[in-house]
Amino acid sequence: MAAAAAASSGDPAGAESTGTVPATAAPSLADQYRSIDNLLLRPSPFGNETGSLPNGEFEPGEDTKARLLSEAKVLVIGAGGLGCELLKDLALMGFRDIHVTDLDTIDLTNLNRQFLFRMSDVGSGKSEVAAKFIMERVPGVTVTAYTKPVQEFTTTWFRNFAVVIGGLDNIEARRYMNEALCELVVRDEDGDIDPSTIIPYIDGGTEGFRGQSRVIIPFVTACFECTLSMFPPAQGFAMCTVSSTPRKPEHCVAYAFMVLWEKERKGEKLDKDSPEHMRWLFDKATERAAEFGIEGVTYKLTMGVTKNIIPAIASTNAYVSATCALEAFKIVTFAGQTMNNYHNILADYGCNCPTYPLERSPQCPACGPQMSVNLSVPRATTARELAEALTSMPLPVVDSEPITLSEVMIGSVPDVVFATAGIKGGWHDRSKDNADKPLSELVEDGQQLTLRGPELTEDTVPRGASVTVNFAD
């Protein structure tokens, strides 16, 4: 997408337009971001290093300001209710290299709160329209748009960013993003983390008058997977109930969605952003409800069940987005104390906005303990000798106590290099022919092999165990 930015405009935010704004004289960079000088150019008693979650030391001056304006690259995932607010906040507070991805298109129902879009944008891609709008309104800001789900980006691609902010509406995308950033963390031979490989993830979410923002620093704070139990299970419907004895209006919508569409419009792909398709589902759900004497089927409910839409309120989006953008600003500049680490807004219960630290889970499959053994051995070392070495000493476990193995299986099923006699499943008999073969005939130099053993469980090494064989000669 072209990065050229048009000049700022005085066009009122509520006016309907195509996004094209009249040109005016663009302010200088110094004038445009003068408001942040008091935060970045003067000493502060509340620098990042003074907080309970320090991740850097604040050094006031032009270098820090330049890091924000010229060097920091930020990724925003989602260009919906939260995403629109985030793009606006980030652009106005000094982030000038912003990337945004969203695969959704703009729907008429988005316009009441997703203020970067206009009536003429309905049907267009959210990320592309949002990027164009921001670049026209905020001179000097480059917003690069992508139109694919976050799961389609390679893990290494995220290394390009100083911070990632999620404005997502589903659990699976959050889990993928969390796991990807955990995988990017590199440790040295002593197991110590290389801080330069840590990419903070800021997650925001809203539901009606409630919302949350949190800072996830991989292997330092609780990650998303650590706290997965905080989220209720996804709503589902038993097909026997939906098909034969519906009791709720949601069952009628689900029947129209899961049964009637396939039956009556077989081969036609359902477009959840199509008003015509949604109207068809609504009409069929209404007929189904009338047949069973069920009330409460509405067009809004039809969209909610079909698209799993979470109720959105503009002011909640604005609040949560502001907290996320502020944390990104503090993480990049170190000009303030990083939030530690979970902030909640419960506006339906008054002004209740607590902040508290979520704790890491020792059984987390994303950031929990992991055994990663590096062995340097002669090429003539046999598979049996490798197994004896692995069971004769305590093996290091990242973020936990060492473990001594009583039995071991080296390699993954079915390509098992060798298994000792006590391993269940008959793998010792299947691999015993390899026992006295040199490792140089069985594995490559530097090859990583999975380890299995009775002491290696989901509780002790939730991220698994492996040995890397390096030939010393």
pLDDT tens digits, 278-293? 999 999 999 999 999 9
Q: Give the pLDDT confidence of 14-42 residue by residue, as tens digits.
A: 333 344 444 445 667 778 889 999 999 99
For position 19, what pLDDT does the model report?
43
Say if residues 91 and 76 touch (Cβ distance below 8 Å). no
Instruction: Kindly report the CATH number that applies to the domain delimited by 371-471.
Output: 3.10.290.20
For position 262, what pLDDT does the model report?
87
For position 110, what pLDDT does the model report?
85
The catalytic position among 84, 182, 223, 240 is 240
Q: What superfamily does domain 239-307 belong to in CATH?
A: Ubiquitin activating enzymes (Uba3). Chain: B, domain 2 (1.10.10.520)
Fold of 29-231+313-356: Rossmann fold (3.40.50)
Q: What is the value of pTM for the model shown?
A: 0.76
Q: Is 240 a catalytic residue?
A: yes
- Report d(CA 69, CA 58) in Å as an integer: 16
> Which stretches in the chain have pLDDT values below 50?
1-24
Q: Where are the domains of the chain?
A: 29-231+313-356, 239-307, 371-471
- Report d(CA 422, CA 434) in Å as an integer: 16
- Please give the backbone phi and psi of residue 204, each rounded to the nearest 5 degrees, phi first: -125, 150
For position 442, what pLDDT does the model report?
94
DSSP state at residue 232: P
- SS3 of residue 269 by DSSP: coil
In degrees, rounded to 5, the angle at the alpha carbon of residue 68 between the alpha carbons of residues 64 and 72 is 120
- Please give the backbone phi and psi of residue 465, each rounded to the nearest 5 degrees, phi first: -140, 145
For position 8, what pLDDT does the model report?
35
